Structure 1
Amino acid sequence: MEEPYGEVFLINKPLEWTSFDVVKKVRNALKIKKVGHAGTLDPLATGLLIVCAGKMTKQIDSFMGQEKEYTGTFELGSTTESFDLEQEVVPVADPSHLTESDVEKAISHFRGDILQIPPMHSAIKVGGKRVYEAARKGKVVQMEPRPVQVSVFELVKFENPTVHFRIVCSKGTYIRSLARDLGEALNVGAYMSSLCRTRIGGYKLSEAKELEPLIEEIKNRRNENL
């Protein structure tokens, strides 16, 4: 690549890939070291991942600070240690009595400026160490509530026990924590069963490319420049 090279890629992250897996794939295709992503998506999440290369890596923080939009599903009546499907599902309480009105009323408490406790299975550092490392060893780390903004928390559809949602939120918001908190508010437990990031600021998932075709495009372009 000619210097100073810089490019921003909008990628639809595949299911079960880590965000770093995607970065590594792009880095290997570009044959340059300076490649990074602007906001982690968990392996079981899909959707928009912004990957910056070359001089555009300087823009990562500005991308990360923009609001995010997600769609997905929560399952009521059970929970997991990580509040998603990475850990074993444990039944909590029968949610069959709940109505759409009950769920909507509970959701209303999690709109606007709220304090949120991040999940133990997250990359946040406490005392200089990633809390997920302690969680994997069975240790409990005291997590302090953090201010986040949830500008939209829409109940798209309720098919008991499945809650279909759309959420627009600030940087640092954990959708898994919203699942946990909603389950606790309804006294039945909940976990996140699917998640797709549909927007980061003004960048939309509809503009993103699938990973494998993009990698082929990068390789072909590089070969043409040799």
Structure 2
Amino acid sequence: MNENRNDIKQEGKVILIDKPLNWTSFDVVKKLKFALKVKKIGHAGTLDPLATGLLILCTGKMTKSIEKFQAQKKEYTGDFTLGHITASYDLETEPEFKKEITGITKEQCIEVANSFLGEITQTPPIFSAVKKDGKRAYELARAGEKFELKSKQVHIEAFEITDFDPPKISFRIVCSKGTYIRSMANDFGEKLGVGAYLSSLRRTKIGEFSVDDAENLMKLVEKQKKENV
């Protein structure tokens, strides 16, 4: 029986998790590695701690599929808050200024959103895991160092304004691998002329995989505990 279990573990599987708020993607990997008692496990695309939603995890031989899943397009929903900017482009750092937004209309927001469609050049946030001179950018940023990151090309397939309730506007974005929604929030606010930061984010799809089919992390852990008894 144990041999059969070991064979299954080695073959591996794909697990869809709805990542909880304030968990890092590595936290989820670590939790499941212990719960599933597997040697090989990894995720197919980082989600920031302040984001929730779909995280694909692969175990055993299925870890070979991680790059394939990482390359697929992503769908996100969330909110931008207008009238402020932050150094991290989200709520990890405090808002730095306040700008009047009373003249901003939904039509203006839709027009700005449409300007992002297609191939765009994007610079990652300084509070990110991108490497600069051998160190993670967020480490340099938290140390107060000044530096610049290289911009890159990404593809935006869809950018819809789904609700308009200033200072909050809700969105749906479909984008290519490597797109930073935080950078889109900052760039959106800059184009609008009032500043903006990402105030909530949820990944709803990776390729054909949907968060609707994802498992609750703690429920899966508890279920696994019972099976391991």
Point out the more displaced range, 167-176 or 85-94: 85-94
**In the alignment, residue 102 of structure 1 is paired with which amino acid?**
Q
Distance in 1 separating the partners of 2:80 and 2:42:
30
Say whether the 8 Å CA contact 1:148–1:169 is kept in structure 2. Answer: yes
Q: CA deviation at 1:220?
A: 2.6
Distance in 2 separating the partners of 1:141 and 1:60:
31
**In the alignment, residue 70 of structure 1 is paired with which amino acid?**
Y
Unpaired segments ≥5 residues, structure 2: none
Within the alignment, does 1:63 sit opposite 2:69 as a pair? yes
| Consecutive aligned runs of 4 or more in structure 1 exceeding 3 Å deviation | none
Q: Deviations over 1:89-147 (max 9, x none)?
A: 22241111101111111112111110001100000112222111110111122112100
Say whether the 8 Å CA contact 1:84–1:193 is kept in structure 2. Answer: yes
Aligned pairs, number = 223
Q: CA deviation at 1:189?
A: 0.7
Unpaired segments ≥5 residues, structure 1: none
Give the aligned partner of residue 132 of structure 1: 138
Q: CA deviation at 1:32?
A: 2.1
Alignment identity in percent? 52
Within the alignment, does 1:189 sit opposite 2:195 as a pair? yes
Distance in 1 separating the partners of 2:213 and 2:123:
32
1:1-226 correspondence to structure 2 within 5 Å: 1-3=5-7, 4-223=10-229
Distance in 2 separating the partners of 1:24 and 1:30:
10
Say whether the 8 Å CA contact 1:93–1:187 is kept in structure 2. Answer: no
Distance in 2 separating the partners of 1:221 and 1:50:
22
TM-score (norm 2): 0.94
Distance in 1 separating the partners of 2:131 and 2:213:
33
RMSD between aligned residues: 1.1
